[in-house]
Structure 1
Amino acid sequence: MTAYIRRAAALSLVLLVALLANAARVQVLQADRLDGNPANRRTVLSRYAEPRGDILVEGRPVTGSKDTGQLLRYERTYTDGPLYAPVTGHASQTYGTTLVEDAEDAVLSGTSPRLSPLPPWSGLAPGRRPGGRVATTIRSALQQAAYRGLAGRRGAVVALEPSSGRVLALVSSPSYDPGVLSGTGSEVATAWARLNTAPDRPMLNRALRETYPPGSTFKIVTAAAALDARVVTDVHAPTGTPDPYPLPGTRTLLPNEANGCADASLAYAIRWSCNTVLARLGVEVGQSRLLRTARAFGFNDPDLRIPSRVARSHIDTDMSPDRLALSAIGQYDTRATPLQMAMVASAVAGDGELARPYLVESTATAGGGLVGRTPRRTYARAMEPSTARRLRELMVDVVERGSGSNAGIEGAEVGGKTGTAQHGMGNQGTPYAWFIGWARAAGAARPAVAVAVVVEDAAARREEISGGGSAAPIARSVMEAALVPDRGP
């Protein structure tokens, strides 16, 4: 009898060990796979069982949560949704998250271990805490000025604080209301299909995710390379450039839209945007030095985040001399995001030092306890301080006596560069209008803002499009807003 008891006990022990081993396998080894299984509704139900944390602009929430009483209880809501959509993105129960909603999802959804007052290894911290808060660097006055200026036209505006890298405005137009995608059901699916098939592509973040030929605004990069390399030592000296300029190795003649570009100085060429002078200087600078300068400004960087992903701005790394000449004036296959061109203006305004741009100022718990703060970091030394000072003088001249007069602000120092970028088959597409610039209040030690504006303006007549005419007035309104003292929330 005792032998039977021992055998039964041994069998029970084996079964118990097998049960424990299986439980460990399921709860430890397979936990992540089971959590991620689409059939597992617990994670989804838990995610929407509590309100999502808010995204803040100047201390005020521009997002919220609505109790639907449904199985997926809380839906995301947005205040001034189209105005801030290029910043917030959407948080949809059906289609996921984008932009800041995505980059800071762990904080906003309450899953980040940083939100707990207890260390994650203590075993006492709950798995999900109330959603935290994300404070952005956006200033509402600048955001509204940019949004009003574009007035629904296709384009984008980015404004940066040169000294810190803070993103002060980030607008893409036309925009959309992310709230229509928040929930589930046929209405959300219809809205998703409508937005994704709209000809103007309102869900495309043109400020961060679209690249354009930068046209003449890229001439600031070429001029920086020429000054740093001492190819130009006197910006007022004639350059000996013919008008038109024969592209090296070809019979193609590069013309100018402006008059007086023959043998023009660099100062005159920047003031009136002479293609010939900057194209020739690009060839003289050479591919390696031009590429080195462009990379210092941010071109060809595939890893730029603010914290949302930014599309890679591009300049070719293997060019024949004629293509190098075209690239030096922002044509050929050179492309840039509006954020990238705002970085160019910011580096000039910042004495050649480019601060890394960022959009999230800080994160906090639901109760306001600080979780993290984004520090100021240097992205690169884009040019020598003396070069930056000289370029600021040339850009001020553009606004005061040249093609950028529409950006002038009474009582402030404003520097800028206009651009009209050709594109399309045979350059027959409607040109893009560009303006990049910066502004410094009277008596201020340094510029308060750097801005980039691009307007696609497909409805305008070709001859009416120019950076000075279409984009500069928008930049002026944004810079004016930036020069008003920031009084906080």
Structure 2
Amino acid sequence: MTRHIRHAGFFCALLLVALLVNAARVQVVQAPEYDRNPANRRPDITRYERPRGDILVGGRPVTGSKDTREHLRYERTYADGPLYAPVTGFASQLYGTTLLENAEDGVLSGSDPMLAPFPLWNDFTRARSSGGHVVTTLDPAAQRAAFKGLAGLKGAVAAVEPATGRILALVSAPSYDPQPLSGNGTAAARAWARLTADEDRPMLNRAARQTYPPGSTFKVVTAAAALDAGVVTDLDAPTDSPDPYTLPGTRTRLKNAARGCADASLRKAFTLSCNTVFAKLGVEVGLRDMTATAHAFGFNNADLAIPFPVARSTFDTTLDRAQLALSSIGQYNTRATPLQMAMVAAAVANGGQVREPYLVERTTRPGGSVLATAGSRGVRQAMYPSTAVRLRALMREVVEEGTGRRAAIRGAKVGGKTGTAQHGLGNSGMPYAWFVSWAQGARDLTPSVAVAVVVEDAEEERRDISGGGDAAPIARAVMEAVLKSRDRAPGS
């Protein structure tokens, strides 16, 4: 009898071991396969069983979570959705995540291992921590000023702090409300269909994910290259530039919108925005040095992320001399995001140094303790400090005496550069109006903000479209908002 009991016990032990081995096989070995199975809803149910962490602007959450009491329990909500959509993106139970919601999904959803007090235990139990929060660098006043300035227009604004690279505003118009996309019902599907069919592409982040020909705003880069290379040593010396200028190796004659560009000095050419002078300067600098300077400013960098990826701004490295002349005035294949052109203005304002831009100041645990901070960002020397000083003077003259007068701010030093970029087949498209600028408050030791604005569909007649008329007032409003925020800040 004892022998039979012993055999039965041994058999039961084998069954128990088999059950444990099978459970381990299912939960460990085959877990990834089950997780990928479309029929398995457990990962989604687990993902949405807790409120999602928030994205904060100026210390205030601009996102939230709504308890739906359904299987996918918590649904994303947005405060001032269209205002911050180019930053937050959306978090949808049907369509996934974009922009910050995507780049910081691990923190916001609670899946980041750093949020777990006992990571190994969470891996074993497959539990998920509560979502952390993402604190942005945005200045709420600057964001609202940019959004208001672009009301009814199509375009974008990017503003950065020159000394640090902190992004103060990132606006794209037209925008959209991410809220209707959050759920998983027919309303979300209808919203998705409407937004994706919209010819104005409201879900496109034009400030960071769309490139444009920068037009005359690129002359800041060309001027920097010419000064650094020693092609120009005296800002007031004639440049021996004909008007019109025949592109090298062709019969194509380049003309100017302004008068007085023939043999103009760099100072005068910059103020009047003379195409002929800068096209000739680009050729004299040469492809190698023009490419090196553009690269130092950030062009051709495919790895820029803020933390979501930024579209690559381009300066063609395989140009003949005629193409180089056009590229040096921001045409031909030269393309830039508004964020890139804000970096160009910021480099001038920051003594020639380019700080990598960033959008996240820090991430925190649900209770508020710091999880990670932005840390130091990469820095490059785009031009000699002496060149930056001279360019700051040139940009100030554009605002004080030239085409950028509408960007002037009482009591502040403001520098800028206007641009009108041709595009489309045979330049048939409505020109883009550009303005890049920086501003320094009366009590500031260095410039506090650099801004780039592009307007795709200016309201004037084609011949009247200009960066100074259409884009400069928007830049002015953003710069004023930042300077006023600095004045109100404690200890300022």
Q: What is the identity, as a one-letter code, of the residue corresponding to 2:294?
A: A
User: 2:477 maps to what in 1?
Assistant: 477
Alignment of 1:374-453 (within 5 A): 374-453=374-453
* Alignment root-mean-square deviation, CA: 2.1
Give CA deviations for 1:316-343 in whole Å, capped at 9, x if unaligned. Answer: 1100100010000000011110000000
Using structure 1 for the length normalisation, give the TM-score. Answer: 0.95
1:307 correspondence with 2:307: yes
Instruction: Quote the Cα distance in structure 2 between the aligned partners of 1:473 and 1:129.
Output: 46
- 2:372 counterpart SS class: strand
Instruction: Quote the Cα distance in structure 2 between the aligned partners of 1:414 and 1:398.
Output: 9
Q: What is the identity, as a one-letter code, of the residue corresponding to 1:331?
A: Q
- 1:348 counterpart SS class: helix
Q: 1:4 Cα deviation (Å)?
A: 9.8
Alignment of 1:240-279 (within 5 A): 240-279=240-279
Instruction: Quote the Cα distance in structure 1 between the aligned partners of 2:292 and 2:19.
Output: 63
Instruction: Quote the Cα distance in structure 1 between the aligned partners of 2:436 and 2:124.
Output: 53
Is the CA contact 2:160–2:346 (under 8 Å) kept in the aligned structure 1? yes
Instruction: Quote the Cα distance in structure 1 between the aligned partners of 2:108 and 2:489.
Output: 23
User: 1:76 maps to what in 2?
Assistant: 76
Instruction: Quote the Cα distance in structure 1 between the aligned partners of 2:382 and 2:138.
Output: 25
Instruction: Quote the Cα distance in structure 2 between the aligned partners of 1:484 and 1:67.
Output: 39
Alignment of 1:27-426 (within 5 A): 27-118=27-118, 120=120, 127-426=127-426
Is the CA contact 2:458–2:465 (under 8 Å) kept in the aligned structure 1? no
Instruction: Quote the Cα distance in structure 2 between the aligned partners of 1:123 and 1:338.
Output: 42
Instruction: Quote the Cα distance in structure 1 between the aligned partners of 2:23 and 2:121.
Output: 21
Q: What is the identity, as a one-letter code, of the residue corresponding to 2:424?
A: G
- 2:420 counterpart SS class: strand
Is the CA contact 2:157–2:338 (under 8 Å) kept in the aligned structure 1? yes
Instruction: Quote the Cα distance in structure 1 between the aligned partners of 2:121 and 2:383.
Output: 47
In percent, how many aligned pairs have the same letter?
64
248-257 or 12-21, which deviates more: 12-21
Is the CA contact 1:118–1:124 (under 8 Å) kept in the aligned structure 2? no
Is the CA contact 2:48–2:75 (under 8 Å) kept in the aligned structure 1? yes
Q: 1:10 Cα deviation (Å)?
A: 8.4
Instruction: Quote the Cα distance in structure 2 between the aligned partners of 1:3 and 1:477.
Output: 92
Instruction: Quote the Cα distance in structure 2 between the aligned partners of 1:121 and 1:300.
Output: 44
Instruction: Quote the Cα distance in structure 2 between the aligned partners of 1:193 and 1:210.
Output: 22
Q: What is the identity, as a one-letter code, of the residue corresponding to 2:376?
A: R
Q: 1:116 Cα deviation (Å)?
A: 2.5
Structure 1 residue runs without a partner (length 5+): none
- 1:395 counterpart SS class: helix
- 1:484 counterpart SS class: helix
Q: 1:30 Cα deviation (Å)?
A: 2.6
Instruction: Quote the Cα distance in structure 1 between the aligned partners of 2:21 and 2:168.
Output: 55
The change in CA–CA distance for 1:191 and 1:284 in structure 2 (over 3 A counts) is same
Q: 1:122 Cα deviation (Å)?
A: 8.8
Is the CA contact 1:58–1:488 (under 8 Å) kept in the aligned structure 2? no
Structure 2 residue runs without a partner (length 5+): none
Q: 1:79 Cα deviation (Å)?
A: 0.6
The change in CA–CA distance for 1:125 and 1:22 in structure 2 (over 3 A counts) is closer
Is the CA contact 2:398–2:405 (under 8 Å) kept in the aligned structure 1? yes
User: 2:465 maps to what in 1?
Assistant: 465
Q: What is the identity, as a one-letter code, of the residue corresponding to 1:116?
A: A
Is the CA contact 2:166–2:357 (under 8 Å) kept in the aligned structure 1? yes
Instruction: Quote the Cα distance in structure 1 between the aligned partners of 2:370 and 2:431.
Output: 46
Is the CA contact 2:434–2:452 (under 8 Å) kept in the aligned structure 1? yes
Is the CA contact 1:88–1:101 (under 8 Å) kept in the aligned structure 2? yes
Q: What is the identity, as a one-letter code, of the residue corresponding to 2:41?
A: R
Instruction: Quote the Cα distance in structure 2 between the aligned partners of 1:179 and 1:4.
Output: 68
